[in-house]
Structure 1
Amino acid sequence: MSDFPPNLSIRPLTIEDIDKCVQLENKGFPKEERCSEQKFKYRLTVAPELCSGLFIRDYDYKYNFINLPEVAEELEKAHDEEDDLREDEDFPAKSSVLKETLIGHIIATKIPGEKITEESMELGTHTEKSRHIGIHSVVIDPTWRGKNLGPLLLHDYIQKLSNQDVGDQVVIIAHKELIPFYEKIGFNDNGESRCKFADTTWYDLSIDLVAKDDNY
């Protein structure tokens, strides 16, 4: 597909990504349903390994395969000359990644119970010994919706958590119209939720984490 995002990358989020997460959250949710900056700070601090980001990466010129050979050759020459001028200076190694644009994220913590509650969404409720991972936010930038990026991010997330043995189950609350979306990914519909966050009706969904056996 020609309009599919180039150079996609999925990696764990860190506290350094907080501004990008806040901006993406503001794009993806109505005001009353957004995760606050304070909650982002808490969740990215206590459970960064449970938070995942989908990025579009811009790479250094030499990794940009779309350049025509003659263009790439000119860029190579210009950069080699610049490197010659700086070879005696003590510069740290430069990453090939020049820029990352966050277009999707999953934010989660370990919750004290088996279902998302309004209490489990508050600050200070991450429970490290819990085997239930509660997803508080799943969002794809509106610009990139309709391209199966949500399933891509969630499948990657579930698979990695399963193989890392960090919990037994992932749970989430969702609006009724999104139940089919999550069911296609493998979540089970557990009925209407007792959680009334943002004075809205939600539905409980869950998926078991089962490590895949590669020895077959």
Structure 2
Amino acid sequence: MKNNASENYVIRKATIEDLDNIAQLEATCFPAAEAASKESFKKRLERYPDYFFLLFISGKLISMVNGLVTDTPDLQDEMYDDAGLHNPGGAWQMIFGVDTDPAYQRHGYAEATLHAFIDNAKKEGRKGVVLTCKDKLLHYYAKFGFENEGISSSTHGDVTWYQMRLVF
């Protein structure tokens, strides 16, 4: 994978003060039926801020990866809205979204943020990482070692999702 990202970015974990920027980036990256609401992000940030990795350039939020930790091996729709399902000691790191400002896409910023998120899951001793994506992104996540497990049971946003898993 070629990483064109310049080295002038900072990746850090989120705080509640990032809420407005997070909600704005999500709304920019996903259709309304698929985007998480500001209130949903607020609940997530209150429960598991350490599982939001944010990439900034000159103070501007460019890319983010977020999700909860669970013992449940498959990503389920209720996880998106019920922050109480987060289990800090869980075996699996879920990814709910990989968002990158469209003006900064295809420059390696999502890749850098995703690598940091995956590395954190490894460091914490998880079994692996699970995400769902549309068919057009299967090849992208395969580059990171994710394996396509087929069509997910998710009906989130009335879209066909594929579950992908990276086992450590």
Normalising by structure 2, report the TM-score. 0.90
- Per the alignment, residue 47 of structure 1 pairs with 48
Query: How many residue pairs get matched?
Result: 164
2:96 match: secondary structure: strand
Q: Does structure 1 retain, via aligned residues, the 8 Å contact 2:70–2:85? A: yes
- Per the alignment, residue 88 of structure 1 pairs with none
User: Which structure would you say has the larger Rg?
Assistant: 1
For 1:111 and 1:121, the matched residues in 2 are separated by 12
For 1:193 and 1:132, the matched residues in 2 are separated by 16
- Per the alignment, residue 87 of structure 2 pairs with 127
C-alpha displacement of 1:4: 5.6
C-alpha displacement of 1:53: 0.2
Task: Provide the aligned C-alpha RMSD in A.
Answer: 1.7
Matching of residue 143 in structure 1 with residue 103 in structure 2 = yes
Q: Deviations over 1:57-92 (max 9, x none)?
A: 2xxxxxxxxxxxxxxxxxxxxxxxxxxxxxxxxxxx
Q: Deviations over 1:98-156 (max 9, x none)?
A: xx110000111113511111122222322233211111111100010111222121112
For 1:31 and 1:112, the matched residues in 2 are separated by 29
For 2:62 and 2:113, the matched residues in 1 are separated by 11
Instruction: Give the one of 74, 85, 99 matched to 1:115.
Output: 74
For 1:42 and 1:206, the matched residues in 2 are separated by 25
For 2:136 and 2:110, the matched residues in 1 are separated by 15
Q: Indicate the percent of aligned positions where both proteins have the same amino acid.
A: 29
Which gives a bigger RCO, structure 1 or 2 (Cα 8 Å, sep 6+)? Answer: 2
- Per the alignment, residue 158 of structure 1 pairs with 118
1:182 match: secondary structure: helix
C-alpha displacement of 1:14: 1.2
Q: Does structure 1 retain, via aligned residues, the 8 Å contact 2:93–2:121? A: no
Question: Unaligned regions of 5+ residues in structure 2, if any?
Answer: none
Greater Cα shift, 44-53 or 119-128: 119-128
- Per the alignment, residue 10 of structure 2 pairs with 9
For 1:122 and 1:194, the matched residues in 2 are separated by 16
For 1:131 and 1:101, the matched residues in 2 are separated by 33
- Per the alignment, residue 34 of structure 1 pairs with 35
Matches within 5 A, 1:24-103: 24-57=25-58, 100-103=59-62
Q: Does structure 2 retain, via aligned residues, the 8 Å contact 1:6–1:56? A: no
Structure 1 residues 160 and 4, CA, compared in 2 at 3 Å: closer, same or farther? closer
1:185 match: secondary structure: coil
Segments of 4+ moved more than 4 angstroms: 3-6
Instruction: Give the one of 158, 162, 182 matched to 2:141.
Output: 182
- Per the alignment, residue 75 of structure 1 pairs with none
For 2:145 and 2:110, the matched residues in 1 are separated by 13
C-alpha displacement of 1:206: 1.0
For 1:117 and 1:207, the matched residues in 2 are separated by 17
Structure 1 residues 196 and 9, CA, compared in 2 at 3 Å: closer, same or farther? same
